[in-house]
């Protein structure tokens, strides 16, 4: 048993909390569901191994390690690293801003730098665990086919987690110093969203511009890129070679990432307490002076809609998530632009993307507006019928969805008006369905719990996803002129009816 206040003691505390948090997330807080969850996870793991078995080429291991292979592996690594860095930025920002037990710990005689050391190490560890879990099926299949040398890939995954955590700490602390505590949270979340999306988008955009395809690998496997890439023995390929099982490269990559993490902790840990205190006082700093003394004439419905839109605009997490969704729509938009003069038929591919995105966005906004009401008593005691309150909130959600998607629909309408009309109908259907599901599953929660909304009702989350997929499929078939759209539409309606049957009775 380690002595209280030591790094080992703090690490044990953090790991215990992280484990319980993770377990609670999986079992929705019900212990007796543990065995079922383990069984489901085992089935899922088997399924993913099957997918990896089918996806990986049989002769993959035996192939010569040429520049094209190194390029593809490096591309995959950069993509994975960008996602890890995005997640890491999120976690580090939370370490600064989420109070939870920090007030208790920092008011104790424990050294703040020890707390930070443990927290950053925990971020690195959880990232590595997450990445290892996702990569495990592929690594395991390679292990089976080509032997033990692939075991090193797990070490590379862990190294990527450590490096991502180190970079995230450096970026967050730099932001603190450059733009101050108040703006850091917002900017860090935007950066996290952009980093997570930008690599995929750049690859897709380049592929669309050069080859007219949305495949990310097209550009990496092109002759132009392979010719210009460094020679196969360049040090730049070491991370890829480490993944491919070369012991020297693997040792170098693991060592480099551990050094990076250690340096980050040593450099930034001593000032952790200061940053946390600055973050806690961030909102006191700036007074906003706007429209002093004037109020707009407002009906209750207008007041509710205006309040919802104001809160949505001021929600940094939502802003970053919406930005990410919009960024992911950029490649389809580019495709649209390219197709304008060439192949209008390919625009049909855009319809399900837009409809799916609209369903997901509407679901998120509806949860915030309907369940994530921070002053439920105030709204409930207002002299406004409950139905009118809900209607105003739904209007706010659908209004926001319309604002986001209208520019895409206008662009689409210029190229293919009928396709645009079908997409618009699909967007309305998917948005309305997702909002309706959130209405049926509404449960009072704090707005700040938005990120955990999936764990509070998995049923609602799955229902929302299935509904969006069904409407996306319906719209795609309709845009393609297929009569199967009717069948798909009936399936989408059946999903909605089924969800209604299993939804909880209104309170």
Partner 1 sequence: MNFTSLSERTPALEIAGLHKRFDRPAVNGFDLAVRAGEFYALLGPNGAGKTTILRMVAGLLRPDAGAIRIFGVDALADPVAAKQVVAWVSDEPMIYDKLTPFEYLEFVAGLWGVDAAAAAARARDLIDWLGLTGHAHERCEGFSKGMRQKVALAGALVHDPKLIVLDEPLTGLDAGSARQVKEVLRARVRAGGAVVMTTHILEVAERMADRIGVIAAGRLIAHGTLEELRERAGSGQASLEDAFLALVAEEAAA
The site for partner 1 (CB under 8 A) is made up of 281-284, 286-290, 292-300, 302-304, 306-307, 310-311, 314-315, 374-385, 447
Nearer to partner 1, 376 or 407 (CB): 376
SS3 letters for 39-71?
HHHHHHHHHHHHHHHHHCCCCCCCCCCCHHHHH
Q: Are 216 and 347 in contact (CB under 8 A)?
A: no
* Residue 302 Cβ vs partner 1, minimum distance, rounded to whole Å: 6
* Residue 301 Cβ vs partner 1, minimum distance, rounded to whole Å: 9
Distance CA 471, CA 229 (A): 43
Q: Are 84 and 161 in contact (CB under 8 A)?
A: yes
* Residue 375 Cβ vs partner 1, minimum distance, rounded to whole Å: 4
* Residue 297 Cβ vs partner 1, minimum distance, rounded to whole Å: 4
Quick one: tokens of 326? 């919009």
| Residue of 126, 208, 226, 120 whose CA lies nearest to 167 | 120
In our burial notation (b when 16+ CB lie closer than 10 A, e otherwise), range 138-170 reads bbbbbbebeeeebebbbbbbbbbbbbbbbbbbb
Residue given tokens 């443990």 in the structure block: 118
Nearer to partner 1, 109 or 383 (CB): 383
* Residue 368 Cβ vs partner 1, minimum distance, rounded to whole Å: 11
Nearer to partner 1, 390 or 425 (CB): 390
Secondary structure letter of residue 108 according to DSSP: S
Distance CA 461, CA 117 (A): 35
Nearer to partner 1, 17 or 375 (CB): 375
Give 53: exposed, middle or buried? Use CB within 10 Å, 0-12, 13-18, 19+: middle
Nearer to partner 1, 58 or 289 (CB): 289
Give the three-class secondary structure for 194: helix
Nearer to partner 1, 57 or 293 (CB): 293
Quick one: tokens of 96? 């600064």
Q: Are 332 and 415 in contact (CB under 8 A)?
A: no
* Residue 396 Cβ vs partner 1, minimum distance, rounded to whole Å: 13
Nearer to partner 1, 105 or 318 (CB): 318
Distance CA 201, CA 327 (A): 7
* Residue 332 Cβ vs partner 1, minimum distance, rounded to whole Å: 32
Nearer to partner 1, 58 or 288 (CB): 288
* Residue 370 Cβ vs partner 1, minimum distance, rounded to whole Å: 15
* Residue 323 Cβ vs partner 1, minimum distance, rounded to whole Å: 18
* Residue 294 Cβ vs partner 1, minimum distance, rounded to whole Å: 6
Nearer to partner 1, 117 or 322 (CB): 322
Quick one: tokens of 56? 């990986």
Distance CA 471, CA 115 (A): 48
Secondary structure letter of residue 348 according to DSSP: G
* Residue 85 Cβ vs partner 1, minimum distance, rounded to whole Å: 27
Give the three-class secondary structure for 344: helix
Quick one: tokens of 30? 């019900």
Residues 6 or more apart whose CB falls under 8 angstroms from that of 77 comprise 160, 239, 240, 243
Nearer to partner 1, 240 or 282 (CB): 282
Distance CA 196, CA 200 (A): 8
List, as one string, the DSSP characters of 315-341: -HHHHHHHHHHHHHTHHHHHHHHHHTS
Nearer to partner 1, 28 or 313 (CB): 313
Give 21: exposed, middle or buried? Use CB within 10 Å, 0-12, 13-18, 19+: exposed
* Residue 290 Cβ vs partner 1, minimum distance, rounded to whole Å: 6
Nearer to partner 1, 119 or 305 (CB): 305
Distance CA 276, CA 105 (A): 12
């Amino acid at each position: 048993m380690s002595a209280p206040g030591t790094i080992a003691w703090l690490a044990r505390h953090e790991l215990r909390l992280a484990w319980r948090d993770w377990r609670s997330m999986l079992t929705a807080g019900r212990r007796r569901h543990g065995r079922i969850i383990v069984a489901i996870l085992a089935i899922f793991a088997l399924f993913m191994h099957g997918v990896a078995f089918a996806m990986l080429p049989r002769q993959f291991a035996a192939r010569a390690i040429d520049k094209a292979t190194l390029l593809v592996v490096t591309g995959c690594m950069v993509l994975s690293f960008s996602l890890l860095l995005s997640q890491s930025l999120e976690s580090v920002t939370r370490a600064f801003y989420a109070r939870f037990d920090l007030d208790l710990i920092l008011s104790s005689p424990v050294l703040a730098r020890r707390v930070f050391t443990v927290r950053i190490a925990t971020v690195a560890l959880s990232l590595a665990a997450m990445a290892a879990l996702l990569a495990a099926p592929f690594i395991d299949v390679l292990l089976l086919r080509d032997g033990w040398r692939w075991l090193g890939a797990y070490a590379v995954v862990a190294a990527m987690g450590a490096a991502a955590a180190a970079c995230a700490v450096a970026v967050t602390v730099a932001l603190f110093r450059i733009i101050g505590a108040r703006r850091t949270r917002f900017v860090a979340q935007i950066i996290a969203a952009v980093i997570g999306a930008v690599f995929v988008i750049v690859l897709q955009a380049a592929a669309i511009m050069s080859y007219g395809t949305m495949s990310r690998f097209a550009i990496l496997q092109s002759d132009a890129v392979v010719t210009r890439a460094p020679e196969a023995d360049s040090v730049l390929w070491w991370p890829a070679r480490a993944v491919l099982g070369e012991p020297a490269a693997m040792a170098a990559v693991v060592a480099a990432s551990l050094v990076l993490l250690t340096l980050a902790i040593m450099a930034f840990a001593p000032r952790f307490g200061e940053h946390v205190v600055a973050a806690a006082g961030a909102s006191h700093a700036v007074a906003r002076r706007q429209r002093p003394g004037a109020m707009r004439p407002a009906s209750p419905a207008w007041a509710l809609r205006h309040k919802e839109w104001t809160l949505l605009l001021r929600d940094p997490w939502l802003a970053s998530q919406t930005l990410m969704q919009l960024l992911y729509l950029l490649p389809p938009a580019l495709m649209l632009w390219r197709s304008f003069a060439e192949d209008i038929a390919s625009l049909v591919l855009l319809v399900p993307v837009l409809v799916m995105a609209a369903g997901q966005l509407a679901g998120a906004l509806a949860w915030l507006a309907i369940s994530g009401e921070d002053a439920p008593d105030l709204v409930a005691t207002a002299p406004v019928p409950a139905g009118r309150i809900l209607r105003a909130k739904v209007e706010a959600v659908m209004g926001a969805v319309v604002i986001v998607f209208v520019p895409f629909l206008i662009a689409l309408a210029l190229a293919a008006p009928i396709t645009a009309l079908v997409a618009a109908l699909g967007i309305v259907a998917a948005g309305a369905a997702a909002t309706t599901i959130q209405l049926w599953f509404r449960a009072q929660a704090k707005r700040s719990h938005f990120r955990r909304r999936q764990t509070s009702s998995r049923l609602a989350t799955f229902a929302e996803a299935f509904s969006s997929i069904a409407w996306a499929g319906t719209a795609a078939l309709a845009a393609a002129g297929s009569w199967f759209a009717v069948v798909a539409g009936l399936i989408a309606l059946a999903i909605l009816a089924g969800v209604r049957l299993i939804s909880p009775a209104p309170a």
